[in-house]
Chains A and B, each alone.
Chain A
Amino acid sequence: MDTTRLTHDREDPNPQPFWEGCERGVLLVQICEACRARRMPPRPMCPRCRSLESRWQETSGRGTIWSFVVPHPPLLPAYTAVAPYNVIVVALEEDENIRYVGNLVTSADASLGEVDPATIRIGEPVRVVFARVEDVTLPRWVRR
C-alpha cells in the first residue's frame, strides 16, 4: 500500500517521540510537567496552563470507539483498493479527552477493509496494535 507521502512529518520535532514510541510498540501521550494535563496532538505549549515543559507518558493502549466513518471512492488509489474501510476515533481509557485517529482491524497487519463496517459501534472497547507500513509504524486498533 503506497502511503509514503501520507506518513508522518520528520521535519517537526514535536511529534517525533510519539512516532518513536510506535516503533517500540508503545502508545504515548504528551503530558504537561506543570499541570499534568495530557494533550494530543502534540504541541510545544500546554493549552491549559501555557507551560512549555512537557514529557511523554506511556498509555494503557486501551480505549473505546468515539466515532467512526466509512469512506467510499473517490479516494486516493491505495485507499480505493481497500474501500469501503473504516476510520475510527478512539478515546483513551484513562482520559476520554485524549483521542487518536486510526483503523479498526482484525490484526495488526490485516487489510483496512476486513472489519464489516455494519458491525462497528460507538463505545466498543479496543486496544492498540502497531502496523509496519513501508518505513513507518502506525497505531491501529483491534477489538478487545
Chain B
Amino acid sequence: MPGAWQWTRPAGMLRPVDEIAMLTRRYMHEYGATRDHLANVALAFRKHANRNPDAMMRDRPLTRDEYMAARWISEPLCLFDNCLETDGALAVVITSAERARDLPHPPAFLHSFAQGLPQQHQPMINFFCDDPLRGPAWSCAARLWERSDFRPGDIPVAQIYDAFSPLIPLSLEGYGFCDRGEGAAYTDGGALEWPDGRLPTNTSGGGMSEAYVHGFNLILEGVRQIRGTSVCQVDDATACLVTSGEGVPTSALVLRR
C-alpha cells in the first residue's frame, strides 16, 4: 500500500466516495448543509439529462423522494450523489482564432485557463491540511479570474465537475459564486436549473446524469452553450465556466463567444 493510502485504506476508507463523504460530513457540520441541498444538485442535473438525447439518464426522471430513499454508498452520500460509470470517446479540436474563422461551426474561444492546488494538499484526502474545506478550486480560481475579463457574477452558465454532488457547493464557493459556507444554500430555489436558475449548471446532465467521461463531456457542453446548440440553451451565453474536479489538483477554463 504505497504513499498516502497507507493512512486511510486499512481503516476501510477504500473508495473515492468514502474520501469525499468524509469532507461532506464535515461540511454539513460546519455550515448546516443538508441532504436536501445535495438532492438539489442531483435533481437539477437529472432534469437537464432528461432533455438530452445523448444522456444515459435521458429516460430516467428522478424525484426528491427517490433520492431520499436511495441506498447508501458511503453515509452521508447515497447512490444519486455519485456519478455514472461510462465508456465513451470525445474530442475537442483546438486551433487558432484566425483558422477558426473559416470553419463551419462557430468557435468557442478559450478566454482564461488556470491550474491550481493549495499547500499541503493530499489528493482526495484533503482532511490532513490546515483548512480542508478550502480545496484546490480556491487556488485555481484566483489565477483563473486574475486572467479573465469576466468575473463570477458575469458568468451565465457553468459546467462544474461532478463526480460527487458535494463537489458542486464546494466549487461554487471556490470559484466565487458565493461566500464560504454558502454553496449549499446557493443551490436552493432551483438555482442550478435551466432555464430560470441564476446559474444553470451541467446543462447536459453532467457526470451524474449525462455520462461520466472524466469531466471531458463538460467541456463539450461548454462549447455547445457558446455556440448556442445546447438542449438546455441559456439565453445570451456570452461565457461559460468549465471546471475539473474539486478535491484533487485541478484546472478550469472560461469559454466565451
Q: Residues of A with Cβ closer than 8 Å to B?
A: 3, 5-9, 11-12, 15, 40-41, 47, 66-72, 75-76, 79, 82, 84-85, 87, 89, 97, 99-103, 112, 117, 122, 133, 136, 138
Contact = CB atoms under 8 A, between A and B. Distances in A.
B22 A70 contact: no
B1 A71 contact: no
Interface residues of B, number: 35
Given A41-B128, A75-B14, A101 B8 contact: yes
B134 interface: no
Contacts of B29: 67, 122
B18 A71 contact: yes
Interface of B: 1-4, 6-15, 18, 21-23, 25-26, 29, 71-76, 119-120, 122, 125, 127-130
The 9 closest A-B pairs by CB, nearest first: A70-B75, A67-B26, A69-B21, A8-B6, A67-B25, A72-B72, A6-B9, A71-B74, A87-B13
**Which of B1, B2, B26, B29: most chain A Cβ within 10 A?**
B1
Contacts of B22: 67-69, 87, 89
A23 B15 CA distance: 27
Contacts of B21: 69
Contacts of A102: 11
**Which of A9, A84, A85, A112: most chain B Cβ within 10 A?**
A9
Contacts of B26: 66-67, 89, 122
B124 to A, nearest CB: 12
B1 A103 contact: no
A8 B11 CA distance: 12
Contact of A5 (B1, B4, B7): B1
10 contacts: A41-B122, A47-B120, A67-B22, A67-B29, A69-B13, A71-B15, A72-B72, A99-B127, A103-B12, A112-B12
Given A68-B22, A87-B12, A101-B127, 14 more contacts: A6-B10, A7-B1, A7-B6, A12-B3, A41-B7, A41-B128, A67-B26, A69-B21, A69-B25, A69-B74, A84-B75, A100-B7, A122-B29, A138-B11
Given A7-B1, A7-B6, A11-B2, A72 B25 contact: no
Nearest to A40: B128
A47 B26 CA distance: 24
Contacts of B122: 41
Contact of B6 (A15, A79, A84, A97): A15
A40 B130 CA distance: 11
B1 A8 contact: yes
A101 B2 CA distance: 16
Contacts of B72: 70, 72, 84
A70 B21 CA distance: 9
Contacts of B3: 9, 12
Nearest to A70: B75
Given A8-B1, A9-B2, A89-B22, A71 B10 contact: no
Given A41-B128, A103-B12, A69 B7 contact: no
B203 to A, nearest CB: 31
Nearest to A131: B10
Contacts of A66: 26, 127
A71 B23 contact: no
Contacts of B15: 71, 75
A11 B226 CA distance: 50
